[in-house]
Amino acid sequence: MSGGPLDDYRLPTDVKPTHYDLTLRTDLEKLKFDGYVVIHLDVLKETSKLVFNCVKLALGEAKISSATLKEDLVFPSSAFKVEEKLERVSLDLPSSLPAGSQLQLKIDFEGELTASMVGYFCQVWEDQGKTKHYTLTQFQASMPTDARRAFPCWDEPLLKATFGIILVSRAETVNLSNMPATSEEEYTPSLTDSTDVVSWISSKFSELTTGEADKWKITKFQITPLMSTYTVTFANGPFVYLEDSYTSPLSGKVLPLRIYTTSNVIHQCQFALEVKKRALPLYEQLFDVEYPLPKLDTLVAAEVELSMLENWGLITGAANQFLADPNAAGMSNKKQVARTLSHVVALNWTGNITTMEWWNNLYLSKSFGTLVRQNSLFPDWKVQPAFVSNSLHHSFTLDAALTSHPVDVECRDSNSINQIFDNMSYSKGAAVLRMLSAFIGEEIFLKGVSIYVKKHLYANAVTKDLWKAIKEASGVDVSKIMDNWITKVGYPVITVTETKDSITVRQDRFLETGFTPPKENETIWSVPLSLLTVDQNGQVDINHSIVLNERDMTIPLDTSKPFKLNAGTTGFYRVLYTPERLVTIGNEAAIEDSLLSLEDRIGLVYDALALSRAGYMELSSALSLYEAFRDEKEYLILDSIFNSLSTLASTWYEHADILNELNVLRRELSTPLISRLGYEASEGETADIGQLRSAAIAQAAFAGDESVITGLRTRFQKMIDTGDDSYIPSNLTRVTFVTAVKYGGRAEYEQAKAIVEKPKSPSYEAAATAAMTAAQDPVLAEETWTYIMTKVKDQNIQDFFFGFWANAGKRRFLIDKFRENYDVIFKRLEANFTLNHLVLAAHYGLASDKDLEETKEFFDGKDVAKIKRHIQTALSGIQSRSEWVKRSTTDLQQWVTKRRAQTKHSV
């Protein structure tokens, strides 16, 4: 390994672990854990030092055994040299071990069970008035390198090994791990199985009475296949479960599926179990590789730092991501469960069976989960068009900033690893793979992915391995097309100019702040143009063969007939047409039975907003496009327009005249839908209709429609007066709670607070949290801040921050409080991802040059290594919004004047 900063962080390569025998005891009463691990190591290069990862563990005695040694080497705990910053420990040997030898390193360790949500930790729940605990692991929390917080290990994804896990626990609890249990016995000193474990336990119990020792049990699990440390998992607690099974379409084997949680919420787990049952056979067929483990369990925890973890054989996830109350879950709740669980199930193939070598290739795992999740699980949910309005839109937004980073980004240390778990790795990675799939054909693409997984079973891979496999399936030089999409930052805007018999297309890097300076415009992408044309019979044809490999090119084309680039919005780029062409395409998109696909129309809506934000077109032109969709009935189109208008209202929230007219337009588009659809669901209606109703009501309420506000407040009050929550349709829970508190007072606020403290479901807790932050009264806002700082759990603070951001009247309050309490917040949250989210949420509402300078000044001189990338993103966002406001305010004022003149004339 060559020298340099990265090598300082990476472990030496002179030894490699092949197997771990891990014995771990959990004490839920004393909130401690201890154990020992025997690590089998191959010596690859002569060495006189062992270096491994370990954080926050008290290490005991160590012993080294090897055939090359005359006798075992025993080391006291004082022999370990701890490098806290590098999160590793070294052990100097009295003599060198030769290359080719093997050894076993045994280390005793112990740790505290805290609520930290990193490593091995505990959580609290209430059972019939009694406080109880359970434990689980989270090795991807503060960063995907937290196995070292639970046991000493070589904690890098490339260093795969097998694991034999034995858990010791209180007899009345349940032990879970990656593999099924092979035996479970109550501890007695006379046990003949697992004699080493029994001997170790007996030494631990030497000071206890026999009665106390009898309360323990030993659970032994099957040995795992080769796997990375970050996918190891174990848990202990009073869990209950639901059970089902699925039949492998490849082998016909029947595998058990369970979902575990605590007894108070197990009734909300059935839908997640159904999603998992649907997803597994689908993914086996997609990858043409059978799921290899003998079971796939899920453990639902009250809160975890990441929404889900793809621990092999035992998925873990947060209650707000996996639970759906059968009597109260709305469609958005069910879609969230399906998105999250289907994503994490897919990672069994692209994260666990085949694993990236290092974290710079994180997207090789995460992007596939984003790309294939929900595919065909629920056909009426229109998940492919939804990808455009969700994953694609979000990654476009992030990657338009100067502070963005490539999908494949260098990760030198733990701080940089932590900060790449964002939409670049998940959504942009998925988007560019989707573009490649559309270019070569989905069937060929999936064949290539299958080849990739099969060639790296239980092994590690890098980007070139994926490109090589897809090339084998397609015959296309995939690397030539894709390298810049993965290794370079940003994406292009394709500018289209016309003559009567041709179009000329030019690519330049797209930036949200405006036209790109030359030094930021050096990348030339290979752009599949996906040219849509219409023949004389009105039939649509899509040419997938045209690729823009240079700065510009001319394409012969009869421009008197309809055409559009980026058919299906499969490409990761924006398209800028002439104003006349945009009107033509917009008119086609707005008509019933349009020739354009749903994906095309969604892409057109979001392109218009992004291009106007960057100054490529007038913002009033985008608004005119949105007004053309007055008669639209498709949920995803209208939701895209509603989101765009909400963005404008959020940006110009301190410009009353403009905000008022934007709200008039929002009401004009939403209230006719409410009149048509009402508030209550009809029997047999589609998922789209239900979500369209919810979106329209929310848009009208947030735009100040008095009738809707009164209706929602009445429903909330009836629920409070009667205790009957059927007055509030499940899809309207959030907007109803928020509206009631926003336009109410102390009484409504206290009701929301009571729901937060004892929610009937995660969706109710989320709705009530948003409601608490919607209060307009400064006194209530202060109380909410005190509540955040004293009572809210770490992982839930971001929900309150985003709630304050959504409340335009309290954005200045939020940023002031964030700055006043920054040191306390940083110290409290520096070990997990939540701090990143708080930095972004606190600054989302800022949109002036003054805000930009004040934010720079605030962070200047602070140690921001752990959150540097997110601070840069926040600063870039402020600058972008400030430039947008300066550039487009006059245009918006003219739009307001013109609309009001038209309204006056029509009256």
**What phi and psi, each to the nearest 5 degrees, are found at residue 725?**
-80, 5
The burial class, CB within 10 Å (0-12 / 13-18 / 19+), for 3 is exposed
Q: pLDDT grade, residue 840 (50/70/90)?
A: very high
CA angle 260/264/267 to nearest 5° reads 65
The predicted structure's pLDDT at residue 558: 94
Interhelix angle 746-757/762-772, nearest 10 degrees: 150
833-842: average pLDDT: 88
Please provide the size of the chain in residues: 907
Contacts of 292 (CB under 8 A, 6+ apart): 225, 353
Which tens digits make up the pLDDT trace of 855-872?
A: 999 999 988 887 888 899
Residue 301 in this model has a pLDDT that exceeds 80: yes
Contacts of 491 (CB under 8 A, 6+ apart): 396, 399, 400, 485, 509, 510, 525, 572, 573, 574
Strand partners, 504: 497, 554
Where do the DSSP E strands lie in 709-849? none
Which tens digits make up the pLDDT trace of 378-430?
A: 888 888 899 999 989 999 999 999 888 898 887 766 556 655 666 677 789 99
The predicted structure's pLDDT at residue 3: 36
CA dihedral 752, 758, 764, 769 (to 10 degrees): 50
331-338: average pLDDT: 89
Q: Comparing C-alpha atoms, which of 882, 785, 901 is closest to residue 843?
A: 882
Which tens digits make up the pLDDT trace of 643-684?
A: 999 999 999 999 999 999 999 999 999 999 999 999 998 888
Which tens digits make up the pLDDT trace of 659-670?
A: 999 999 999 999
Residue 883 in this model has a pLDDT that exceeds 90: yes
Which tens digits make up the pLDDT trace of 37-90?
A: 999 999 999 999 999 999 999 999 999 999 998 899 999 999 999 998 889 999
Strand partners, 534: 540
- Please, what is the average pLDDT of the chain? 91
> CA-CA distance, 269 to 546, in Å (whole number)?
48
The DSSP string of 879-899 is HHHHHHHHHHHHHHHHHHHHH
Which tens digits make up the pLDDT trace of 708-750?
A: 999 999 999 999 999 998 999 989 999 999 999 999 999 999 9
Residue with tokens 């800022």: 846
Q: pLDDT grade, residue 196 (50/70/90)?
A: confident
The predicted structure's pLDDT at residue 201: 86
The predicted structure's pLDDT at residue 210: 46
The whole-model pTM stands at: 0.91
138-160: average pLDDT: 86
The DSSP letter of residue 98 is P
> CA-CA distance, 474 to 482, in Å (whole number)?
14
Which tens digits make up the pLDDT trace of 529-583?
A: 999 999 888 899 999 999 999 999 999 999 999 999 999 999 999 999 999 999 9
**What phi and psi, each to the nearest 5 degrees, are found at residue 78?**
-70, -10
**What phi and psi, each to the nearest 5 degrees, are found at residue 192?**
-95, -25
